[in-house]
Chain A
Amino acid sequence: MSAPELEGGAARQPLPQRIANGIMGGANVIATAWILVIMVMILVDVIGRNAFLTPLAGVPEMVKYSIVGIVFLQVAHSHRHGELIRSDGLLGALTRRAPRTGAALDMLAQLAGVAVALMIAWSVWPKVIRAYERGEMEGISGHFQMPVWPFLAIVTAGSVLLAVSFLISAIYAAQRIAR
């Protein structure tokens, strides 16, 4: 229901939405590149360990936290493309029979998304501050260490972006009700 084709082409989109789309697209590019970096890091570790007896330090820590970063950088873009998982059987049937009621139900679902995404951002934000102030690290002293706060910051920022994406979809749903 939140598929882009229902929301008009880029030319018809208002400026704030184009800006939001730009940010989500940028986050998506970073996350995509990040996946490829993870792939290369694991390869370097495997080859280094076997061929040169020198594994790459910190690969498990990096991989473990990277997935959190990748998911939250991508999640808004995924939602924008209608790829976030939902059961749209009832919604689809309703939209065909009673388009306005269907649009109203969709709007409620998207608003629930706004609320929950903001709730996640609000929950995690204090963790970002704490981890930054305390210098919380992942990894082993004397071997490999990296700060935890940037990953948590991505969770917060990604959740805010997701809330924006839900909001955009809710507005389009509202327009379909009014139509």
Chain B
Amino acid sequence: AAAGLLAPAAQAETFNATAVAGHPEVFLWVKTLSDTLIPTVSEQLEGTEHSINWMEAYGGTLASVGGELEAIEGGLAQIGIVSSLFEPSLLSLQNVSYATPFGPADVDIVFDTVDEMHEEIPDMKALWEEYDMEYLGGGFGLEDYLLMTDFPVDSLDDLQGRKINAPGPAVNWLKGTGAVGVSGNLTSYYNDIQTGVAEGVIVFPTAAAAAKLHEVAPYVTRVGFGAQYAGAIVAKKSWFDELPVEVQDALRGGVDAFAVQYRQGLEQRVAAAFDTMQSGGAEITEFPADERVKWANALPDIAGNWAREQNEKGLAGTEVVNTYMQKLQEAGVDLPRDWTVE
């Protein structure tokens, strides 16, 4: 029940809201949405005249992974987790960290930087608004990606001629390294590596531990591809704009609580993931710094190509890459490759 013409903000009202996520609740971002965001909003609405009647639709009950944007835009859900990672052409600018690999491992720096950029670069918010999305902040993402293989890796040369599973945009991180990118997804890695279709995978630790990938790829090399911004909590803008200001504030408060809780939860889960892998017999090693530099510089100009592609679409591609680089450098991040676009 959206606010009608004669419904001033003061009138007590219950709003219906469906929260959508394509992933099931075992994924931290969905769990945090359900366990933190929604209760916080309800808490903040206590004492006001308003309330929200929530309906939660996760794990493909309303939209599959990558279908959340359409579900919200089409009015089937009012709030949800939209993964820019799975909308590489529609929410292209949000994927800047994937186009600039070997960034910081620190999720706070990555999430905060991209959040800030939403305030500074109008094109970034405009992308969301084009699809009737209100960016509520609460940018979230994934921890430092690593390499898991069924053979030991000490140098870039060890990858020569090896077949490596790489999810989505990470396939570009193998170009020029001599390794062969094999496409796959979280449900196929285990089998692919077990049978030898692939000999390793680029993956983030929490997913790797959950899928028990160390059983088939026990050599865990912390290459340091960097933490990645992968999406945000958004609301349907035309719905959000109609809400009384107290409800809007409560939703923003819920998203802030989500952001804090997600990062804490992520930290714990990453630690637990490494424990799981370690006790499962994985051999966890740090990739040598000079080899990391070598890898970063073996790659083609991923960021430049990506930025120019965005520029051609009339988006601030170059500005986004360069601002991101500048902000990381200001934060004192040691970057093996400066992706700044000329």
Q: Do chains A and B touch in the complex (CB under 8 A)?
A: yes
Q: How far is the CA of A134 from the CA of B180 in the complex (A)?
A: 32
B163 located at the interface, meaning its Cβ lies under 8 Å from any Cβ of chain A in the complex = yes
A145 located at the interface, meaning its Cβ lies under 8 Å from any Cβ of chain B in the complex = yes
- Cβ A49 vs Cβ B163 within 8 A: yes
Residues on B with beta carbons closer than 8 Å to the beta carbon of A53:
161, 163, 180
B181 located at the interface, meaning its Cβ lies under 8 Å from any Cβ of chain A in the complex = yes
Q: How far is the CB of A171 from chain B (nearest CB, A)?
A: 35
Chain B positions 145 through 186: 1 when the CB is less than 8 Å from some CB of chain A, otherwise 0? 000000000000000010100001101100000001111000
In-complex Cβ contact of B92 among A49, A54, A138, A141 (8 A): A141
Q: How far is the CA of A54 from the CA of B313 in the complex (A)?
A: 30
8 Å CB contacts to A: which residues of B88-110? 88-90, 92, 95, 99
Chain B positions 289 through 328: 1 when the CB is less than 8 Å from some CB of chain A, otherwise 0? 0000000000000100110010001000000000000000
Q: How far is the CB of B254 from chain A (nearest CB, A)?
A: 29
**Chain A interface, DSSP helix/strand/loop, else mixed:** mixed
Residues on B with beta carbons closer than 8 Å to the beta carbon of A139:
88
8 Å CB contacts to B: which residues of A39-67? 49, 53-55, 59-60
Residues on A with beta carbons closer than 8 Å to the beta carbon of B181:
55, 143
In-complex Cβ contact of B89 among A136, A142, A143 (8 A): A136
Q: How far is the CB of A143 from chain B (nearest CB, A)?
A: 5
Q: How far is the CA of A127 from the CA of B71 in the complex (A)?
A: 12
Q: How far is the CA of A139 from the CA of B24 in the complex (A)?
A: 23
- Residue of chain A at shortest CB distance from B70: A127
- Residue of chain A at shortest CB distance from B303: A142
Q: How far is the CB of A66 from chain B (nearest CB, A)?
A: 15
A37 located at the interface, meaning its Cβ lies under 8 Å from any Cβ of chain B in the complex = no
Q: How far is the CA of A59 from the CA of B183 in the complex (A)?
A: 9
Q: How far is the CA of A59 from the CA of B172 in the complex (A)?
A: 16
A137 located at the interface, meaning its Cβ lies under 8 Å from any Cβ of chain B in the complex = yes
A93 located at the interface, meaning its Cβ lies under 8 Å from any Cβ of chain B in the complex = no
Q: How far is the CB of A57 from chain B (nearest CB, A)?
A: 8
Q: How far is the CA of A59 from the CA of B313 in the complex (A)?
A: 25
- Cβ A135 vs Cβ B302 within 8 A: no
Chain B positions 240 through 282: 1 when the CB is less than 8 Å from some CB of chain A, otherwise 0? 0000000000000000000000000000000000000000000
A140 located at the interface, meaning its Cβ lies under 8 Å from any Cβ of chain B in the complex = yes
Chain B positions 38 through 71: 1 when the CB is less than 8 Å from some CB of chain A, otherwise 0? 0000000000000000000000000000000010
Chain A positions 134 through 171: 1 when the CB is less than 8 Å from some CB of chain B, otherwise 0? 11111111110100000000000000000000000000
Interface centre among A135, A139, A143 (most CB of B within 10 A): A143
- Cβ B182 vs Cβ A49 within 8 A: yes
- Residue of chain A at shortest CB distance from B197: A49
Interface centre among A135, A136, A137, A141 (most CB of B within 10 A): A141
- Residue of chain B at shortest CB distance from A53: B180
Residues on B with beta carbons closer than 8 Å to the beta carbon of A134:
89-90, 130
**7 other A-B residue contacts (CB within 8 Å) besides A55-B182, A136-B90:** A53-B180, A60-B183, A137-B88, A140-B168, A141-B306, A142-B306, A145-B89
19 pairs, CB–CB < 8 Å, chain A vs chain B: A49-B180, A53-B163, A54-B180, A55-B180, A55-B182, A55-B183, A59-B183, A134-B130, A137-B89, A139-B88, A140-B168, A140-B169, A141-B92, A141-B99, A141-B306, A141-B309, A142-B172, A142-B302, A143-B169
Q: Which residues of A contact B (CB under 8 A)?
A: 49, 53-55, 59-60, 127, 134-143, 145
